[in-house]
Amino acid sequence: MIDIKNLSLVLVLAVAVASCSDDSSGSDDGGTDTDTGPVECNLGEYSGDFEITEQPDLATLAGYTSISGDLGINCSLCTDLSELNCLASVGEHLSIDNNDALTSLDGLNALTSVGEDLLIERNDAITSLDGLSALTLVDGDLLIENNDAITSLDGLNALISVDGNLRIWRNSALTNLNGLNALDSVGGTLNIYNNNALIDMGGLSALTSTGVHLVIENNHALPNLNGLGALTSVGEYLQILENATLASLNGLSALTSVGGELKIHENAALENLDGLSTLTSVGDLILYCNEALTNLNGLSGVTSVEWGLWIEGNTSLTSLAGLNGVTGSVDGDLWIIANTALTDLDGPSGLTSVGGDLWIANNDDLLNVDGLSGIAGPVGEDLALGNNESLVNLDGLSGITSAGDDLWIRDNPALANLDGLSALTSVGDEFSIYENDILPDCEVCEVLDQITSGPVSIDVHSNLDDLCTPVPDSCP
């Protein structure tokens, strides 16, 4: 006999099971499906540019794996980027800018490449870049600027190469560069500027070269450059500027060449350049206003300074001996100015010619210029010596035959003779020797007598007024 009660129960359960099965299959007719599971990444490429300015905009890109143009995320109220979790590539620029409420970049975890520039700027609440953990390549510039809460660059650990510039600017809480540990090259300029909490460069331990410039500027808490130990070359200029607590360059111990300018400027705590001991050649060498710098011994491996050599305002510098390996010509200027503790110029004795200006001025303790005795022939532009309070003679300049522009010797109160100018026969423009308290006018007149070419004008006054016997023909 059939149990009617049990049969009814079975039918009810079957209908219930069927209903659950139908409901779980979803709806494709715009019905009341409320499934909130992961988005399927099956929409391929979004064609064109897209800008996200409010949270609902994100839904437009849900499911897309790439975007062909620019993507801008500029949304002051957005708190979540999870709807971008399929996005693996951006064809052109990716800008993440002015997102005041966004605390992380989670949602960009699938992103592996950006075809042009990646800008991460003015995101006040983002504390890390962990959401970019899959990113390996930026074909343009990577700019990380003015993000007040970021403390490290963790999240960029997969990044191997930046083909353009890498700029890390004004991130006030950034203490280290950890997260860039895989980065081995920057095609353009690496610029680390005004990150006031930065104390550690260790995250750049894999970096071997920059194609253009390396600039480390105005990072007030940075004590050293440890972390750059793999860097062997800088394509154009290396500038280390205004890092108030920087005491050592030891992190540059593998650097062998700087294609353009090496400028070390206003690093108040820097006492020596020992970290540059493997450097062999530079274009320009500029050492300016490093108040604690006492010597240049760290440059002892440098054999070539191609364009110009400027040593100015290093008030504790007592010796140029570290330049004793430099030989040949300087095509541009040689300036030794306002190094008030320097007593001699011994060191660059291998220099043979100067193509631009030769200026020696405002070196209060300088006694002589004998260290320049290897320079012979013409000076391309100005030959100038001024305001050297202790300078007694110019004997080290005895090989110089001409000044292409001006000869200017002024306000050297201890200078007693001009014997060091005995080979000078040509001055291109102005001949000015004045206000040298104990230099006899006769000495000046004798130099004028030996000039066979030029000058255009003569300015001689306020030296020691003496009676010459006989009076040189050229005495004014």
pTM of the model: 0.88
In a domain, 360, yes or no: yes
In a domain, 63, yes or no: no
CA 431 to chain CA centroid, Å, is 40
In a domain, 165, yes or no: no
pLDDT of residue 475: 62
pLDDT of residue 39: 72
Query: φ, ψ for residue 386 (rounded to 5)?
Result: -150, 145
In a domain, 467, yes or no: yes
In a domain, 318, yes or no: yes
Closest C-alpha among 281, 266, 265, 163 to residue 212:
163
| Strand boundaries in 349-465, DSSP class E | 351-354, 358-361, 377-379, 383-386, 400-403, 407-410, 426-427, 430-434, 457-461
Range of the domain at 385: 280-476
Number of Cβ atoms within 10 Å of the Cβ of 404: 18
- Encode 203-225: b = buried (16+ Cβ within 10 Å), e = exposed: bbbbbebbbbbbbbbbbeebbbb
Contact 172/149 with Cβ under 8 angstroms? no
pLDDT of residue 10: 37
Domain count, the chain: 1
In a domain, 286, yes or no: yes
pLDDT of residue 104: 94
Contact 472/451 with Cβ under 8 angstroms? no
In a domain, 356, yes or no: yes
Distances (CA, A) of 279 to 186, 189, 252, 256: 20, 20, 9, 4
In a domain, 367, yes or no: yes
CATH for 405: 3.80.10
pLDDT tens, position by position, for the chain (476 residues)?
Answer: 444 344 343 333 343 333 334 443 333 333 334 344 567 899 999 999 999 999 999 999 999 999 999 999 999 999 999 999 999 999 999 999 999 999 999 999 999 999 999 999 999 999 989 999 999 999 999 999 999 999 989 999 999 999 999 999 999 999 999 999 999 999 999 999 999 999 999 899 999 999 999 999 999 999 999 999 999 999 999 999 999 999 999 999 999 999 999 999 999 999 999 999 999 999 999 999 999 999 999 999 999 999 999 999 999 999 999 999 999 999 999 999 999 999 999 999 999 999 999 999 999 999 999 999 999 999 999 999 999 999 999 999 999 999 999 999 999 999 999 999 999 999 999 999 999 999 998 899 899 999 999 999 999 989 987 755 555 555 65
pLDDT of residue 442: 87
Helices and strands, counts by H and E, the chain: 2, 33
